[in-house]
Amino acid sequence: MSNLSELKSRLNAIKQTRQITGAMYLLSTSRMKKAMQNIDYNIAYMHKLRSTMKDIISKATQNEMHNRFIQKQGEGVKLYISVASDKGLCGSYNSDIVKETLRIMGDNFSDSILLCVGNVANAMFKNAGYTPDYNWCDVLSKPSLTIASGISKTIIDLYRQHEVNEAYVIYTEYVNSSVQRAVSKRILPLLEKDFEDIEDDFKYNAFPIYEPSIDNVFDLLVPQYVTGFMYDVFMQSAASENSARMRAMQNATDNADEMIDELSAEINAERQLAITNEILEIAAATDITGSV
């Protein structure tokens, strides 16, 4: 009888867990759809902005523009922005980002500055023996241009003050609901080859005139570009995180369903065994009474 009560208690616990995983699946689905909608909006904005940046950079030589944002400074300190999550229960999402970041940094951690987004990744870096120089939390739960602007300001300030020579971001690129991958992209400096995938909106042969100067115009555009870029990174990361959590919760729910079926069958078998034993005991008692 004690075995039957233990099975019932375990069954109730699994059913409660299943309710939690089911609710988390629905919540992640809703958040992923919202993030996807914002991604579509940002794609059009980034295409226009990158096209403008490409146009200016491609004409930098003839305009005699010598801007630090488009000039590679050689070897020096590198800035790595690792974008992960503040929460777990999303499979290997966070660990993949941390592994990719450590792989790219290699043995040059002493010549690097690490900017970490997400409490989970921050803890994982510390467990691996690396303490991030900067840490932001509550970013992917509600990505916003305000947060993206604050982080991009830190990136640009470090670059302008010659604290770093290059800046890279490591994040999870959203391909579709089934495919997300950890990637690394350079943010600064902005080189012409970085914009090869963007086609010109229109072509012209005229010599452009910038007011007050091409350098001033470019200096104003770079913060806008980095902010938009980081916002796109956050939106893709948020969509990837919720997609990964959807799969994890769906797998957990499926496993719970299997365990519930197995336990239900085991409980029924125990009940039938208990009933059979009672019938045998009654039959044995009847035989004894009749013989007496």
Residues 141 and 259 in one domain: no
CA gap 140, 4 in Å, rounded: 45
Mind giving me the DSSP string for the chain?
-HHHHHHHHHHHHHHHHHHHHHHHHHHHHHHHHHHHHHHHHHHHHHHHHHHHHHHHHHTTTTTT---GGGS---S--EEEEEE--S---STTHHHHHHHHHHHHHTT-GGGEEEEEESHHHHHHHHHTT---SEEE-SSSSS--HHHHHHHHHHHHHHHHTTS-SEEEEEEEEE-SSS-EEEEEEEEES--GGGGTTSPPS----S----SS-HHHHHHHHHHHHHHHHHHHHHHHHHHHHHHHHHHHHHHHHHHHHHHHHHHHHHHHHHHHHHHHHHHHHHHHHHHHHHH-
Same-domain status, 142 and 163? yes
The answer to whether 80 touches 170, Cβ cutoff 8 Å, is: yes
Give me the pLDDT at residue 63, please. 58
Does 201 lie in the same domain as 118? Answer: yes
One pLDDT digit (tens) per residue for the chain, 292 residues: 457 778 788 888 888 888 888 887 777 777 777 777 777 777 777 788 888 777 777 776 655 666 777 777 667 789 999 999 888 777 788 888 999 998 888 877 778 899 999 888 888 888 888 888 888 888 888 888 889 989 999 999 988 888 888 899 999 888 776 677 888 888 988 887 877 777 766 666 666 777 777 778 778 888 888 998 898 889 888 888 888 888 878 788 888 888 888 888 888 887 787 778 777 777 777 766 655 5
Express each pLDDT in 20-53 by its tens digit: 888 877 777 777 777 777 777 777 777 888 887 7
Whether 266 and 214 map to the same domain: the answer is no
Structural domain count of the chain? 2
For residues 11 and 136, state if they share a domain. no
The reply to whether 139 and 265 lie within a common domain is no
Q: Between the CA of residue 285 and those of 272, 291, 292, what are the distances in Å?
A: 20, 10, 11
Residue located via tokens 């890279």: 168
The per-residue pLDDT for 70 is 78
The amino acid present at 162, given as its one-letter code, is H
Domain shared by 217 and 276, yes or no? no
Same domain, 63 and 174: yes
**Domain span including residue 74:** 22-247
Query: Is the domain of 208 the same as that of 227?
Result: yes
Verify that 242 and 144 share a domain, yes or no: yes
Q: Which CATH number goes with the domain that contains 287?
A: 1.10.287
pLDDT at 1: 46
What are the residues facing 113 on neighbouring strands?
Answer: 79
47/159 same-domain check: yes
The CATH number of residue 180's host domain is: 3.40.1380.10
Q: Examine the domain organization and report whether 75 and 167 are in the same domain.
A: yes
